[in-house]
């Protein structure tokens, strides 16, 4: 199965480090960042889960729940968790899905064909309160993720959902936004502040409060 932007994130039932869950019930009406990692007791993954745990309050303040997955067992997840806290200084702060039969990995197309094993790649799914997949990022196993960028994407998605704007390259909250092509400059000036027309197709405005 290949997921695309706008698809409904598949529901599943699975064991996790926080007990058995039904994904949609666990998620509720929150945003979710659902990310896979190749295996427990691996170096890059240890740094990633520690970094994500250290940022858990930043995600929570945005109404976002974190949940991770690997194809290892719950017992392995529990045995590995103390290493995450010891190495990174941040104790595991969210559930890890156990997927030894790779059923969830298949639902979310997390296995990279031709890589010589059946562990998951570093996929990231941004899922909105309506259970729609809004952004998908996929990294190779050798490259650790930038969790500041993952928070930035959440901020951009939430800003563009709340207001009729788009975000330019490297945008962060408080930066100026872009008037979307579907809105005329005249209309933009009635809805947004300090509209600047750089090109007929490129108009900046102050970020709405």
Q: Which residues are known catalytic residues?
A: 45
- In the numeric block, which tokens belong to residue 192? 């947004």
Kindly calculate the radius of gyration of the chain based on its CA atoms and give it in whole angstroms: 19
Q: How many CB atoms lie within 10 A of CB 134?
A: 19
Q: Where are the alpha helices (DSSP H) in the chain?
A: 23-27, 43-54, 56-61, 74-88, 103-107, 147-162, 185-191
* Residues 6+ positions from 134 with CB-CB distance below 8 Å: 5, 6, 126, 127, 128, 157
Contact in structure between 204 and 176 (CB atoms under 8 Å): yes
* CB burial of residue 135 (10 Å; 0-12, 13-18, 19+): middle
Q: What gap in Å lies between CA 112 and CA 52, rounded to an integer?
A: 23
Which of these, 124, 95, 94, 129, lies nearest to 109 by C-alpha position?
124
Q: Terminal CA-to-CA distance of the chain, rounded, Å?
A: 40
Q: What gap in Å lies between CA 149 and CA 127, rounded to an integer?
A: 16
């Amino acid at each position: 199965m290949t997921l695309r932007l706008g698809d409904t994130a598949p529901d599943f039932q699975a064991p996790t480090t926080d007990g058995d869950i039904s994904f949609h019930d666990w998620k509720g009406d929150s945003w979710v960042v659902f990310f896979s990692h190749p295996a427990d007791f691996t170096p890059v993954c240890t740094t990633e889960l520690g970094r994500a745990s250290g940022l858990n309050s930043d995600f929570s303040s945005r109404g976002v729940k974190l949940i991770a997955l690997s194809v290892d067992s719950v017992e392995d997840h529990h045995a590995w968790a103390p290493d995450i806290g010891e190495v990174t200084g941040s104790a595991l702060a969210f559930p890890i899905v156990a997927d030894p039969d790779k059923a969830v990995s298949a639902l979310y197309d997390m296995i990279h064909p031709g890589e010589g094993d059946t562990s998951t790649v570093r996929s990231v799914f941004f899922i909105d309160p309506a259970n729609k997949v809004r952004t998908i990022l996929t990294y190779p196993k050798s490259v650790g993720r930038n969790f500041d960028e993952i928070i930035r994407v959440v901020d951009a998605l939430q800003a563009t959902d709340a207001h009729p704007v788009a975000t330019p390259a490297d945008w962060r909250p408080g930066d100026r936004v872009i008037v979307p092509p579907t809105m005329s400059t005249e209309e933009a000036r009635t809805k947004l502040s300090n509209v600047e027309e750089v090109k007929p197709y490129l108009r900046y405005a102050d970020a709405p409060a």
